[in-house]
Structure 1
Amino acid sequence: MSALEVSDISRAFPIRNGLFARPASLRAVERVSFELPQGGTFGLVGESGSGKSTLARLILGADEPTDGEVRFGDRVFGRRTQDRHKRWRQRAVQAVLQDPFGSLDPQMSIGDIVLEPLRIQQHDFARDALQKRLDALLMQVGLPQEFRHRRPGELSGGQRQRVAIARALVLEPEILVLDEPVSALDVSIQAQVLNLLKDLQDALGLSYLLISHDLAVVAFMSSHIGVLYLGRFMEQGTRDDIVERAAHPYTLALIAASEPDALDVQADVQPISGEIPSPFAPPSGCVFHTRCPAARDICRTDAPTEQRLSETHRVTCHFPIIPQV
């Protein structure tokens, strides 16, 4: 059973290069499809500029797709969405963002920050009920109750991210969108926060959409992984499909750029050089061909179609690397 289904979703932004120039469009996300298993984690991995955050905004409802749809059970979100479904999503789908300090009001107490969404959504909570809810949330995320009176500036980065997680949980959501949730934290704190998220998922039955540039983080948390590049999926599959049977050169490069010990693999490849091309002028053919060490003439002219390597494993490449069994 799926908590979330994304079907052929695209997002294009109109752009103009001059007063008399023909209107063009920036294709930030291009025909992306995937399923988030109920109670599981789907990891989106890719470099900055790959379209991960745009996709997160579409799922959260902060932006609307140009094409395609997002489905939560029988609730469909696309270019025309019913208001009652929008209200449901405002409660049921919550976000934990990258910067725990920038997302918390420095003038508010921790208690007010955590309870703010509940006060906005539901105005009839008694004061005692609010305090009990606050105490329970602080305990769930591993913070002392006396922290309710502190302000964000008095907390460490890891503690602030725990506050952000508590705030995301206050409305009892079904899905959390985790947008680079540990990238702003010290390495020593990252594992603590990731383990907390895993414990909360098990205890509350949450489904996670995890976004990160770090494949090691995604592999640790996720049951399924999608590898994004310039708004397109290069590869998609289970955690083992991607980590142990990677078939796309870009996926292999991400493995090489990660900690081999963290992924329990030995990737005999080197990280790719250069930078991701501008989405304003994506390369012709395969969008990855300008950085691909195995690119051939057809890669420069023809966009590859998606190939199914197994029931769960798909790759978009003219010449996928088929692991030797």
Structure 2
Amino acid sequence: MNIAAVAVVVPAHNEAEHIVACVRSIRVAADHVGPLPVHTVVVADACTDITAALAAREGAHTVSIDRRNVGAARAVGVLHALALLGSTSGIWLAMTDADSTVPAHWLTRQIAWARRGHDAVLGTIRLAPASQGACRYARSEHDAAYYRTRPAAEDNTAWEHPHVHGANMGVSATAYHHVGGFAPLTTSEDHDLVARLTQAGHRIARTDDHPVHTAGRPRPGRPGRSSPLPVPTSENVRAYRAPGPGRRAVSGPHPCDRGVTTSAGSGSCRSRGFRCDGHRAQRRATSAREPSEQGLRPPATPGQRHQGRAAGPSGTPPWSTSSARRAAVRHQR
């Protein structure tokens, strides 16, 4: 494919805290593909802060809508970008999220794949560092599942990962229009587009060579991004309650890592010096499991503990309390 121009589309909802870093990282990536023209379009969806003003100050084209729908926001951004460029021929559409930062070679690698005949490129993400003192349970669970299919470093094999992220994807405008573009979905609009591209027979590259750093913040129904972490719901919070004696609690990201409010407030319960309902339930469930499940030997009965052991002072049995043994010693003196 001969690339004539690139359009970067960024949906955003109240991202004043992150949009400047996002647009600046895109500008750096655009410098690496010059003199190819790159247009960045930020779609401010139902924003009540200064996201749009900050994006415009950094040189991005901005569009304001009031849909609260990430699929609709991406579609509007693509339409605006193509209207600016006046054509779909030779146009490459790159997608990211407003709370993400792209690497300097982000567009260079996507364009290289496109020139080799691919119609879409799916990249990977890296979670931004967690806030200081936050529980690391969700991050470790995410990483264990995310990298499960990645080959070992010594294999020297490219990782054709199974992931789809709206924060790191690119598609030719021709292929995009062929499958109908983004559907107005509040979540999984990226998966839906890729499924239709696959069904239509378009060539899709999956690569880990230009990962995007993104915030690991679950936001249900948030129009600005597709979260890499699970969203807390009443169902998965209840999963942490002990399911019964001798049974394991259901594993998964801990509720306090995902902004679930406890009786003492929101945030990480460990960083605030107390255990939330989820942590207490996990502890109860673990203690309710059989000793063999915990990797421990069953506790011995008093008779088993006494068997083969000498009696204590003055015939005090070895399972007596420490205070009783001390009293017996004092009596002998």
The normalised TM-score by structure 2 is 0.25
TM-score, normalised via structure 1 length:
0.26
